Chain A
């Protein structure tokens, strides 16, 4: 019988590491995906995944079941990613987005040379534009665009008012549009 998240959390709160491992096995990939989209490279992503689980373990006592464990965890992961991006920025180390990890605009099938060239251009532009977003813009955009979280949820996760969160999403989309529109509008149909 499969243990639910709620059951695993209840056991883990009592110090049961096997129960906690069930949660780690179940949710690590989604944490990885979120962290990857926010940090843009695998090394930082792995650090964020690790830190997310450490914080989750220490905060289990504060978890309230009504939110759902996955939702609670993505908030922790988003904040860990933000912390790391800020440290990197303060170090003057701009995020280095892996082009291939952020987007793949080549549709399935046999891409011709034109489409490959355009796709490569889109990749590069997108990586540059994502790296140029402020930490908060990137966090809000990733949560809205990739994770499908509502503005309200994002505001709660990042500790921002709804209007401030909206503005972060607007600014992020505007920057991405400015960077990508010239290449995307030149792409053949289907890209």
Chain B
């Protein structure tokens, strides 16, 4: 038998080489060279075998405290939070203001650049902050809709949610384009995915049957969009805290 290659040694080490295991073992017993290579491999892999830092006591309780509000049953489409449709209607206007201010600072010409440099730097930070805050709010609102739909057990009429999704769609487009222009590639990508999901919601039938609701929920889940929105949102909060 020829010397064992690295793949065979790895499979042997992990007990995966079930079919030819006896032949491999026989060769290893008779071949000091392969035996030495196996021992080296095992020494390396032994260095990677170690305990992980354990979470703090009470970890499970903390997990539950964060989880419980997100899985709590809600009355279907009752929108218990303070986001009445009229208030949501300001989402688009907010986006226009935040994006407008952000873009104006970036692209409008200014006089005496040297003299105004410190002022412009401060103004630039302010604009970025406004944009980050507005985008963070937008992501929070979007996440709420997605979580509501993902957790819904029954649904008759989702026309109110469709209206909200429409509202968020307009704002989302502005944020996406702005993020792309600002070089925030990942934010722009997540917003692009979010836009497709919001479109999906907005274009669903207003009255959903249980299978239709399940299908919509699966489409939301398949893309992992809630998680991505949450990750980006938490990064924006970090950025907001740091500025």
Contact = CB atoms under 8 A, between A and B. Distances in A.
B30 interface: no
Contacts of A126: 47-48
Given A54-B70, A145-B48, A184-B47, A29 B60 contact: yes
B60 A24 contact: yes
Contacts of A32: 52, 54-55, 59
A50 interface: yes
A21 B72 CA distance: 12
B186 A91 contact: yes
A132 B80 CA distance: 46
Interface residues of A, number: 55
A50 B143 CA distance: 15
Contacts of A49: 63
Nearest to B48: A103
Contact of B150 (A58, A83, A90): A58
Contacts, number: 129
B52 A181 contact: no
Contacts of B43: 184-185
Interface string B202-243: 000000000000000100010010111011001000000000
Contacts of B72: 17
Interface in A101-160: 101-105, 122, 126, 144-146, 150-151
Interface string B15-56: 010000000000000000000000011011101111111110
A37 interface: yes
B16 A15 contact: no
B183 to A, nearest CB: 11
Contacts of A20: 71
A101 B52 contact: yes
B107 interface: no
A152 to B, nearest CB: 9
Interface of A is mostly: helix
Give the interface centre of B40, B47, B59, B217 by most chain A CB atoms within 10 Å. Answer: B47
A54 B40 contact: no
B42 to A, nearest CB: 10
A184 B64 contact: no
Interface in A4-35: 15, 17, 20-21, 24-25, 28-29, 32-33
Interface of A: 15, 17, 20-21, 24-25, 28-29, 32-33, 36-37, 42, 47, 49-51, 53-55, 57-59, 80, 83-84, 87, 90-91, 98, 100-105, 122, 126, 144-146, 150-151, 166, 169-170, 173-174, 176-177, 180-181, 184-185, 191
Given A21-B64, A98-B53, A166-B11, 7 more contacts: A24-B63, A83-B227, A87-B228, A145-B14, A146-B49, A180-B44, A181-B44
Give 9 nearest A-B pairs by CB, closest first: A103-B50, A101-B53, A104-B50, A25-B60, A91-B186, A51-B227, A33-B52, A28-B60, A180-B44
14 contacts: A17-B71, A24-B60, A28-B59, A47-B231, A54-B71, A58-B217, A83-B224, A84-B227, A84-B231, A90-B185, A105-B50, A122-B47, A126-B48, A173-B45
Interface of B: 6-7, 10-11, 14, 16, 40-41, 43-45, 47-55, 59-60, 63-64, 66-68, 70-73, 150-151, 153, 185-186, 189-190, 217, 221, 224, 226-228, 230-231, 234
